[in-house]
């Protein structure tokens, strides 16, 4: 498929979305009455997707008024049988149907749509059908994002009516990625689907280990890992020729972050011969915040390995040499308005300053002024606990290794700002981790007056 056609469907939907659309409840009724007319039913499903995009506040109504169960029931029967134009149209609506909706993702799973998408992907792989593979991958990625139950269900071996078992979805996705190495759409969507199965992004607490972690262990097994590395390398190379396709580069980087686990594997990935580290560092120069955030995330994972961290950070013997450290600070400065870039950037710098006084001094010299930069970020993103935690961790690490930085923390009244964070957010569960980091920082430098935790006594006392 030509690169020029990549955004064609989205552009058409945006144009049509500007015209008047029927209300969702009306579309549900029309879908029920037109299920046997394939072209008409497919067009109604496309309109459902456009309605979701135009009025996201109505998204859950699709489940509340049994729209999903009716649509899936129709798709499961003749003349569709989970295939054809209407099935592909419904697959393509999944990003808008599932976004932020736990209810819709669960309803689609219960109605059998997730299992049908896995079978559809398998069929596309067998028939080398690029368009169907893209549609099925799009649906799987949307269904499995932030839903551990769907990640678990997707890994179950589903059966065709002929009782022939379908290979595991991880294997099928890898086969699709290897089958269409030059297709930007396949690489972007199938890589997003693969990543959605292995990233632990369901914020709801479960009593058992997340399925995403089990899936990731399988992806990193000796059976699959060589192929995973191949598809990541291919996607990284392909994205360099299609910089305008942001999703491709972003998903390649995000999947690379997921497989960067363990000292040995990180060292192997970061070897110059793989060219992956060079690609990640080059991505920091992108004007797209999504690419920069993903690249920061990869480097942050790499920095957990001490040997690779030495390559990424400034060492005493290289203090006058140019290094990649400047890129990290400059990337944060360029994207100061984007909270996820600030969170990942300061988290990376905090990892790099670990037991590294030279790095701490370098970050706070007149060219970088990381303490002042931290103050700017805290003020600009005062409502983001994840950003606050990363910034405070870096300031803590720098201040304990560099007296000049500690003096600037006091001079800029950052300790006062930190005490305010504790006072304002100590009862908010979302801020728990950030508040605890702030408390430790304040306690170490005896600046915690008025925010110390009160002693808790049991009933005996």
165 bridge partner residues: 159
CA–CA separation, 340 vs 387, rounded Å? 7
CA–CA separation, 96 vs 48, rounded Å? 9
* Strand runs labelled E in 211-353: none
DSSP annotation of 167: P
Q: Cβ(17)–Cβ(55) under 8 Å?
A: no
DSSP annotation of 272: G
pLDDT tens sequence for the chain (461 residues): 444 444 445 445 444 444 578 999 999 999 999 999 999 999 999 999 999 999 999 899 999 999 999 999 999 999 999 999 999 999 999 999 999 999 999 999 999 999 999 999 999 999 999 999 999 999 999 999 999 999 999 998 554 444 444 568 999 999 999 999 999 999 999 999 999 999 999 988 777 789 999 999 999 999 999 999 999 999 999 999 999 999 999 999 999 999 999 889 999 998 888 889 999 999 999 999 999 999 999 999 999 888 888 888 755 444 433 467 888 999 999 999 999 999 999 999 999 998 889 889 889 888 889 999 999 999 999 999 999 999 999 999 999 999 999 999 999 999 999 999 999 999 999 999 999 999 999 999 999 988 887 766 666 65
The reported pLDDT for the residue numbered 7 is 44
DSSP-derived 3-state class of residue 24:
helix
Q: Cβ(306)–Cβ(297) under 8 Å?
A: no
CA–CA separation, 299 vs 292, rounded Å? 11
Q: What backbone torsions phi and psi does residue 304 show, to the nearest 5 degrees?
A: -70, -20
CA–CA separation, 408 vs 439, rounded Å? 19
Q: Is the peptide bond before 153 cis (omega within 30 degrees of 0)?
A: no
DSSP-derived 3-state class of residue 409:
helix
**Distance between the two ends of the chain, CA-based, in angstroms?**
74
The reported pLDDT for the residue numbered 19 is 55
CA–CA separation, 429 vs 41, rounded Å? 45
The reported pLDDT for the residue numbered 204 is 83
The reported pLDDT for the residue numbered 458 is 67
Domain spans, the chain: 306-312+320-449
Q: What backbone torsions phi and psi does residue 329 show, to the nearest 5 degrees?
A: -65, -45
């Amino acid at each position: 498929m030509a690169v020029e056609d990549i955004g064609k469907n989205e552009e058409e939907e945006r144009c049509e979305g500007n015209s008047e659309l029927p209300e969702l409840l009306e579309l549900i009724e029309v879908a029920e009455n037109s299920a046997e007319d394939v072209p008409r039913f497919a067009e109604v499903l496309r309109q459902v997707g456009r309605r979701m995009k135009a009025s996201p506040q109505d998204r859950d109504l699709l489940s509340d008024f049994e729209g999903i169960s009716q649509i899936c029931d129709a798709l499961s029967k003749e003349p569709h049988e989970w295939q054809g134009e209407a099935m592909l149209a419904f697959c393509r609506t999944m990003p808008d149907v599932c976004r932020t909706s736990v209810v819709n993702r669960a309803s689609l799973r219960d109605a059998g749509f997730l299992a049908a998408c896995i079978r559809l992907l398998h069929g596309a792989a067998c028939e080398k059908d690029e368009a169907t593979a893209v549609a099925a991958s799009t649906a799987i990625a949307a269904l499995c994002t932030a839903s551990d139950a769907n990640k678990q269900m997707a890994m179950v071996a589903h059966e065709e009516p002929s009782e022939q078992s379908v290979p595991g979805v991880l294997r099928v996705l890898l086969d699709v990625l290897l089958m269409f190495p030059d297709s930007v759409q396949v690489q972007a969507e199938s890589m997003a689907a693969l990543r959605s199965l292995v990233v632990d992004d369901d914020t709801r607490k479960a009593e058992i280990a997340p399925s995403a972690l089990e899936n990731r262990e399988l992806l990193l097994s000796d059976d699959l890992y060589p192929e995973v590395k191949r598809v990541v390398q291919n996607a990284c190379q392909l994205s360099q020729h299609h910089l305008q396709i942001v999703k491709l580069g972003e998903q390649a980087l995000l999947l690379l972050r997921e497989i960067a686990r363990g000292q040995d594997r990180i060292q192997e990935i970061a070897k110059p011969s793989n060219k992956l580290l060079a690609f990640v560092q080059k991505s920091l120069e992108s004007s797209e915040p999504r690419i920069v955030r993903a690249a920061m995330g990869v480097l942050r994972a790499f920095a957990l390995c001490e040997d690779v961290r030495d390559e990424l950070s400034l060492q005493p013997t290289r203090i006058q040499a140019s290094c990649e450290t400047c890129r990290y600070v400059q990337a944060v400065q360029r994207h100061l308005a984007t909270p996820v870039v600030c969170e990942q950037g300061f988290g990376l710098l905090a990892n790099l300053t670990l037991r590294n006084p030279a790095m701490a001094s370098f970050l706070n010299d007149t060219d970088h002024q990381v303490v002042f930069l931290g103050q700017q970020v805290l003020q600009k993103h005062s409502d983001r606990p994840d950003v606050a935690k990363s910034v405070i961790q870096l300031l803590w690490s720098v201040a304990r290794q560099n007296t000049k930085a500690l003096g600037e923390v006091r001079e800029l009244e950052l300790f006062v700002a930190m005490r305010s964070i504790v006072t304002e957010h100590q009862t908010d569960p979302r801020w728990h981790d950030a508040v605890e980091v702030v408390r430790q920082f304040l306690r170490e430098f005896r600046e915690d007056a008025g925010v110390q935790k009160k002693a808790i006594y049991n009933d005996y006392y």
